[in-house]
Amino acid sequence: QISEDGREQPVDQQRMPGFVHLPSARQLTVQMMQNPQILAALQERLDGLVGSPSGYMESLPKVVKRRVNALKNLQVKCAHIEAKFYEEVHELERKYAALYQPLFDKRSDIVKAAYEPTEEECEWKADEEEELTEEMKEKAKVEEEKKDEEKEDPKGIPEFWLTVFKNVDLLSDMLQEHDEPILKHLQDIKVKFSDPGQPMSFSLEFYFEPNEFFTNTLLTKTYKMRSEPDENDPFSFDGPEIMGCTGCTIDWTKGKNITLKTIKKKQKHKGRGTVRTVTKTVPNDSFFNFFTPPDVPESGDLDEDSEAVLAADFEIGHFIRERIVPRAVLYFTGEAIEDDDDDYDEEGEEADDEEGEEEGEEENDPDYDPKVGRRAYC
């Protein structure tokens, strides 16, 4: 549009009769992605594509298909050999667990003050960068002795396992404030493997000193495993899988059961209109719910909530067995956590760089909507 003085003026598209403003392709995409019905339909379509054949196999000559079937039969045999491999690994774990156990027992004795380590056992050579001068060592020694004089001599390593749990995100997420006074009494955690010739399984044994909360000195959690391909889906085999778990009964002292809480509700009578207060006992969040997992029916069918609880439970049980028990002192000091973080540094930096580049490109796009442009990473 040109003005009387010859200068170009912007066109008011909204006031031009018959003019229809067409959104850009990106704006259309954003609008579609904000529509839950479209998203649901798209997800359903994508779910239907998962595992669907590409059509390539159907296009192969019959004689080639026969040979591919022969390869698949070989693959099934490989899966059965792999299952045997994992069974032997389980046997090796059992064998070496017996070799580790005397060391873990000594660790437990030191933690609970049943054994005082010698000067030689307590010597630890620091990393070169952490080495101190003789003067600094002497100063540190004097300060430590002064602190020891000011307070009572602690026995063993107080709150060892509680500190381990609090230092590990996977476990600290389970802890509630009311769990901590009880876990201060936890003295040891052991892993026990199934006996030779018995179905594959492992148990976690939690040893407690006498306390005011329950009369048990041992709480157990047993995980049953299977190391064999599924007859209906042999190609899905990827090592032993946990088939179920059983906990134990905690003999709580009266009034100390922190897995339950009492709530009061007011109820109004429909006819008379009177109000009464009803007391109900309901489940309460607690680490000790770990010992009462959902029952797995013989059919194996579970609702979504139970499946989610069991999936998290299996992950925690496996982590305690594989990482916490063998390396407890390093989780107590935080060194194992630093090592875990180091495993992800490089990948994280790369992801940050890539994300930064993407954000830059999106910000330069005039149609970019920052509220819609966020991504969730699992």
Q: Is residue 314 part of a domain?
A: yes
Considering its fold, how many domains does the chain have in total? 1
Q: What is the pLDDT of residue 99?
A: 95
Of 260, 225, 227, 261, which is closest to residue 246 (Cα–Cα)? 225
Cα(252)–Cα(293) distance, rounded to whole angstroms?
Answer: 17
Contact by Cβ (8 Å): 271, 251:
no
Cα(162)–Cα(324) distance, rounded to whole angstroms?
Answer: 12
10 Cα distance to chain centroid: 57
Q: Is residue 366 part of a domain?
A: no
Of 212, 292, 217, 284, which is closest to residue 254 (Cα–Cα)? 212
Helix (H, G, I), strand (E, B) or coil at 132: coil
Of 291, 71, 292, 115, which is closest to residue 189 (Cα–Cα)? 291
Please calculate the CA angle 119-125-131 and round it to the nearest 5 degrees: 120
Is it the case that residue 316 has pLDDT exceeding 90?
Answer: yes
Q: Is residue 21 part of a domain?
A: no
Q: What is the pLDDT of residue 33?
A: 59
Query: What's the DSSP call for residue 127?
Result: P
Q: What is the pLDDT of residue 279?
A: 85
Q: What is the pLDDT of residue 167?
A: 95
Which range has the worst mean pLDDT, 28-42, 169-183, 266-280? 28-42
Contact by Cβ (8 Å): 12, 20:
no
**HSE-CB of 39 using CA atoms within 13 angstroms:** 7
Q: Is residue 367 part of a domain?
A: no
Q: What is the pLDDT of residue 34?
A: 64
Is it the case that residue 130 has pLDDT exceeding 70?
Answer: no
Most trustworthy range by pLDDT among 83-97, 161-175, 330-344:
161-175
Average pLDDT of the chain?
A: 78
CATH code of 251's domain: 3.30.1120.90
Query: What's the DSSP call for residue 233?
Result: B
Q: What is the pLDDT of residue 264?
A: 84
Cα(326)–Cα(157) distance, rounded to whole angstroms?
Answer: 17
Q: Is residue 189 part of a domain?
A: yes
Domain range holding 95?
62-333
Q: How confident is the model at residue 371 (pLDDT cuts 50, 70, 90)?
A: very low
Alpha helix stretches (DSSP H) within 36-61: 36-49, 56-59
CA-atom Rg of the chain in angstroms: 31
Span 133-137, mean pLDDT?
Answer: 63
Span 328-336, mean pLDDT?
Answer: 93
Residue that wins the pLDDT comparison between 358 and 122? 122
Q: How confident is the model at residue 351 (pLDDT cuts 50, 70, 90)?
A: very low
Q: What is the pLDDT of residue 272?
A: 75
Span 351-370, mean pLDDT?
Answer: 43
Tokens 């046997």 sit at which residue? 91
Of 351, 334, 371, 49, which is closest to residue 163 (Cα–Cα)? 334
CA-to-CA dists, residue 374 to 27, 30, 46, 212, 368, angstroms: 15, 12, 21, 50, 11
Q: Is residue 19 part of a domain?
A: no
Cα(21)–Cα(23) distance, rounded to whole angstroms?
Answer: 6
Percent over 70 (pLDDT), the chain? 67
Is it the case that residue 369 has pLDDT exceeding 50?
Answer: no
For residue 95, give the H/E element and its range.
helix 62-111
31 Cα distance to chain centroid: 35
Is it the case that residue 44 has pLDDT exceeding 90?
Answer: no
Instruction: Collect all residues with Cβ–Cβ distance below 8 Å to 23 and sequence separation of at least 6.
Output: 31
Q: Is residue 101 part of a domain?
A: yes
Look at the chain and count its residues.
Answer: 378
Look at the pTM and tell me if it is higher than 0.75: no
Q: What is the pLDDT of residue 247?
A: 94
Which range has the worst mean pLDDT, 119-123, 144-148, 318-322, 348-352? 348-352
Q: What is the pLDDT of residue 378?
A: 31
Of 224, 187, 190, which is closest to residue 320 (Cα–Cα)? 190
